[in-house]
């Protein structure tokens, strides 16, 4: 005969939080920073989902259909913490800056297993962001003889099952922070950039107005961070014009970076 969770946990072996989920880095931690318009170096959050956890009676009552509450509600104390088995949980990442995505996207992680959530992309907005991982958890608990399956069907023994929703919030990890700087500007203390025509059909000019002479390294990157063109050009003090041939690359958004004597500047263009 299948043992109920009530009998398993009545022996006192269960300690609330002993099998709680683990997120690495922990919820509330700062994540790797990013730069607007530049490919993100990436951040991995590992979610280790336990096979058991706990939830308050009030949270259980909040999700129970009225028909289930009418049958089992009187056995549930809103102020008591009840053990639950964890079958699986659906994790969703919320609050990412525009241009960044994650490889989870509402992924399902079974109890007793883990999952790497990888954040990547190229942010298109700067600022400070709060990122949360929310959850919808399937599992069950047994309270005074009533077995309640979250994300399953409650069988009250009256001839028809009653669907019970999954539990929100049990496996949440909230309060991660990420800073996205606005990136390299179009000008610095050494030189300033302009680019024309912008947008361009292919043949274009990078204008460099410099207070120092030297050698400029000019690189063109796709919006995903791939280097597509690179050249070097001698730069004199004053106004310089560097030809940029974009005829051989596909239409899209590109970032043009110039480096002169260690100073860098960045300008955005579109190939049409």
pLDDT digits (tens, 9 = 90+) for 121-165: 988 877 889 999 999 999 999 999 999 999 999 988 777 899 999
Burial (CB < 10 A; 0-12, 13-18, 19+), residue 230, is exposed
At 67-103, the pLDDT tens digits run 999 999 999 999 999 999 999 999 999 999 989 999 9
Domain locations in the chain as residue ranges:
5-181, 191-271
Neighbours of 65 (CB within 10 A): 12
Identify the pLDDT of residue 49. 97
pLDDT band at 11 (very low <50, low <70, confident <90, very high): very low
Q: What is the DSSP letter of 187?
A: B
Residue 235 has pLDDT above 60, yes or no: yes
The residue with greater pLDDT, 225 or 242, is 242
Identify the pLDDT of residue 15. 31
Whole-angstrom distance, CA of residue 84 vs CA of residue 92: 21
pLDDT band at 183 (very low <50, low <70, confident <90, very high): low
Identify the pLDDT of residue 20. 56
pLDDT band at 266 (very low <50, low <70, confident <90, very high): confident
Identify the pLDDT of residue 96. 96
| Mean pLDDT of the chain, nearest integer | 87
Q: Which CATH class is domain 191-271?
A: mainly beta
Angle at 80 between CA 78 and CA 83, to 5 degrees: 115
Question: Taking the model in full, what pTM does it have?
Answer: 0.66
At 102-132, the pLDDT tens digits run 999 899 999 999 999 999 998 887 788 999 9
Span 155-177, average pLDDT: 91
Span 51-63, average pLDDT: 95
Identify the pLDDT of residue 180. 87
Residue 184 has pLDDT above 80, yes or no: no
Q: How many CA atoms lie within 13 A of 230 on its CB side?
A: 5
């Amino acid at each position: 005969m299948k043992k109920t969770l009530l009998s398993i946990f009545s022996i006192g072996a269960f300690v609330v939080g002993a099998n709680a989920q683990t997120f690495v880095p922990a919820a509330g931690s700062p994540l790797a920073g990013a730069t607007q318009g530049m490919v993100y170096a990436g951040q991995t959050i590992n979610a280790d989902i336990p096979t058991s956890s706990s939830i308050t009676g009030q949270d259980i009552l909040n999700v129970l259909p009225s028909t289930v509450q009418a049958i089992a509600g009187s056995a549930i104390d809103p102020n008591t913490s009840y053990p639950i088995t964890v079958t699986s949980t659906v994790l969703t990442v919320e609050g990412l800056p525009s241009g960044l995505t994650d490889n989870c996207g509402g992924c399902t992680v079974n109890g007793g297993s883990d999952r790497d959530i990888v954040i990547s992309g190229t942010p298109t907005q700067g600022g400070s962001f709060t990122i949360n991982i929310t959850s919808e958890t399937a599992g069950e608990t047994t309270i005074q003889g009533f077995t309640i399956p979250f994300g399953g069907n409650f069988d009250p023994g009256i001839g028809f099952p009653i669907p019970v929703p999954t539990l929100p919030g049990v496996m949440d990890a909230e309060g991660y922070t990420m800073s996205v700087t606005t990136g390299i500007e179009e000008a610095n203390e050494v030189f300033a950039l302009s680019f024309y025509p912008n947008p361009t059909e292919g043949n274009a000019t990078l204008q460099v107005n410099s207070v120092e002479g030297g050698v400029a390294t000019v690189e063109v990157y796709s919006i995903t961070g791939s280097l597509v063109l690179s050249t070097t050009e001698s730069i004199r003090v004053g106004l310089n014009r560097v030809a940029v041939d974009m005829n051989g690359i596909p239409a899209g958004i590109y970032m043009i970076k110039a480096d002169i004597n260690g100073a860098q500047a960045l300008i955005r263009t579109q190939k049409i």
